[in-house]
Amino acid sequence: MRVHVPVHLRWGDQDAYNHVNNVELLRVLEEARVRALWRTDDSGSDGVDQGLALIDAAPGATTMTLVARHEVEYRAPISYQRTPLDVQLWIGRIGGASIDICYEVRAQQTERAAAAVGATTVVLVDADSGSPRRISSEERTAWEPYRETPVHFTGRR
């Protein structure tokens, strides 16, 4: 099962070639990931399925999330558009203390195919010790329905 997160572009996300800059696309992925994973008082108010939102984002929370790795494959240029991008997220792997979040980014002009795909390894870290912490059985059970085949990067050999 995938979570669909609408993410609006900013005019400044474009580069000199009039398409979304590669660095800005990582910001788009971050925005979608945070909205999907972090639990807040207003969870669900933006229309995003909050089934993944188990990580407490409040000040003083006991868990931090650290990005250990990103991989992105750009498949088509994304031009500025007023309608939000459809960022689809799912979990490609659930490890001992980390998860791989997978993405497909669909733009209005590339509806049939993903304009970009990506994966981010997120490590759960105990806020007090700074050490990775094990994924709880509650988290594992809640995240399992969102598990699908990881992204296939076509550029790999």
Q: Please report, for the domain that includes residue 85, its CATH number.
A: 3.10.129.10
Q: What percent of the chain has pLDDT over 70?
A: 87
Residue at 90 is within a domain: yes
Residue 152 lies in a domain: no
Q: Which two tokens stand for residue 9?
A: 């572009």
Residue 156 in any domain: the answer is no
Burial class (CB in 10 A: 0-12, 13-18, 19+), 29: buried
Please provide residue 25's backbone torsions phi and psi, each rounded to the nearest 5 degrees: -65, -35
For 42, 50, 94, the CA distances from 133, given in Å and listed in that order, are 26, 22, 13
pLDDT band at residue 10 using 50, 70 and 90 as cut-offs: confident
How far is residue 75's CA from residue 34's CA, in Å, rounded to a whole number?
24
Q: Is residue 153 part of a domain?
A: no
For residues 128 and 135, give the distance between their C-alpha atoms in angstroms, rounded to a whole number. Answer: 16
Please name the amino acid found at residue 116.
A
pTM of the model: 0.88
Local confidence band at 55 (pLDDT 50, 70, 90 cut-offs) = confident
Query: Domain limits at 11?
Result: 3-146
Q: Decide the pairing of beta strands 85-94 and 3-7.
A: antiparallel
C-alpha–C-alpha distance, residues 92 and 149, integer Å: 6
CA 89 to chain centre: 6
Q: Are 102 and 152 in contact (CB under 8 A)?
A: no
Task: Tell me the per-residue pLDDT of 102-116, one tens digit each, with 9 for 90 and over.
Answer: 999 998 766 678 999
Residue 157 lies in a domain: no
Residue 99 lies in a domain: yes
Q: Report DSSP state, residue 41.
A: T
* Domain contains 139: yes
Segment 122-132, tens digit of pLDDT: 999 999 999 99
Confidence of residue 101 (pLDDT cuts 50, 70, 90): very high
100 or 40: which carries more pLDDT confidence?
100
Which percentage of the chain shows pLDDT scores above 90? Answer: 57
Structural domains in the chain (count): 1
Q: Is residue 141 part of a domain?
A: yes
Mean pLDDT of 75-96: 93
